[in-house]
Chains A and B, each alone.
Chain A
Amino acid sequence: MEQLQLAQLGSGIAIGFGAIGAGLGIGIATKGLMDAISRQPEVAGKAVGFFLVGAALAEACALYAFIIAYLLMAK
């Protein structure tokens, strides 16, 4: 295959595998939030703030993969 096609294939693989981890992470974080709120509804406001920070941290992993994918495509 040519180099461009290989780069496109690689960028697809990169963003795909990166998104798996971020999706799992945000899913687990949401599960934890739901558990916490259903157990103690009065902590909802505080828990959502921490959830957003944690979800942003998990989401960043997918964005690292996105940067790799973009760098591969931009070559």
Chain B
Amino acid sequence: MEHWLYSINLSGHTLTFNLDTIFTMWFAMIVIIIFSLLATRKLSLVPNKLQAFCEGIMNFFWGIMGSMNTAKEHVPLIASLFLFIVIANLMGQLPLRIIHLKTGELASPTNDINLTAGLAVIVLIYYVTAGILKKGPKFFLHELSFTGIVTMFVEILEMVTRPLSLAIRLFANIFAGEILVSIALGAFAYFAPLPIMLFEIFVAFVQATVFMMLTIAYVSSATGQEH
């Protein structure tokens, strides 16, 4: 799937921007920002409907953190990742493709591997930092023995494979969904894509949940007592 590329030259290096991804990403972020501003505008002890709804969402995250035995201080990262990914995935089902671009199309921003790789790198930096802050040098080397050194190398390898699988999993699910919708559109226009698009709404939530669960698992394995 092509993107709307824009290149600038910066002292011999070429920086390429995927403008459609940037646009849809900011659209998703603006939706979340406006929603949270509206929800936190008039906080009261007796919540109105919007505030009660948002408290329900936050209770959902707190419950998950509690059930996975992770410290509550990591809720901001988990909650913002989940909400952003849900909004971004659901945007693929909006009729934004009506706006024609020269190349590419306006769909969900998560069908670009650059964005999902960015999210995965954020998770990597976060859990390594949290682990080092919690355990210090013991985060890398638990014990000076053969097993400890082998474990250290395996964990350094995991720092590559974990973000890689996180990024490719989210990207591939959304991308495959869009390819599937376009194939169905070619097979039997306007009717065959409908069940697939309904399924994609389900996939959007499931993938956001998977991303969040794996992030919680990585953070809790980095900060927990036993690895």
Contacts and interface: CB of A to CB of B under 8 A. Distances in A.
Interface residues of B, number: 15
A54 B192 CA distance: 28
A67 B175 CA distance: 9
Contacts of B206: 52-53, 56
Interface of B: 165, 168-169, 171-173, 175-176, 179, 203, 206-207, 209-210, 213
A63 B210 contact: no
Interface in A36-75: 52-53, 56-57, 59-60, 63-64, 66-67, 70
10 contacts: A53-B206, A53-B209, A53-B210, A56-B173, A56-B207, A56-B209, A59-B173, A67-B168, A67-B175, A70-B175
Contacts of B169: 57, 60, 63
B213 A63 contact: no
Contacts, number: 35
A60 B209 contact: no
Nearest to A49: B209
A65 to B, nearest CB: 9
A66 B203 CA distance: 16
A70 B2 CA distance: 13
Contacts of A52: 206, 209
Nearest to A66: B176
Contacts of B168: 60, 63-64, 67
A64 to B, nearest CB: 6
Nearest to B203: A56
A56 B172 CA distance: 12
B149 to A, nearest CB: 30
A53 B199 CA distance: 15
A63 B179 contact: no
Contacts of A56: 173, 203, 206-207, 209-210
Contacts of B209: 52-53, 56
A64 B173 CA distance: 9
B174 to A, nearest CB: 10
Among B171, B172, B207, residue most surrounded by chain A Cβ atoms (within 10 Å): B172
Given A52-B206, A53-B209, A70 B173 contact: no
A18 B172 CA distance: 13
Given A53-B213, A70-B179, A63 B207 contact: no
Nearest first, the 4 closest Cβ-Cβ pairs linking A and B are A63-B172, A60-B169, A56-B210, A56-B206
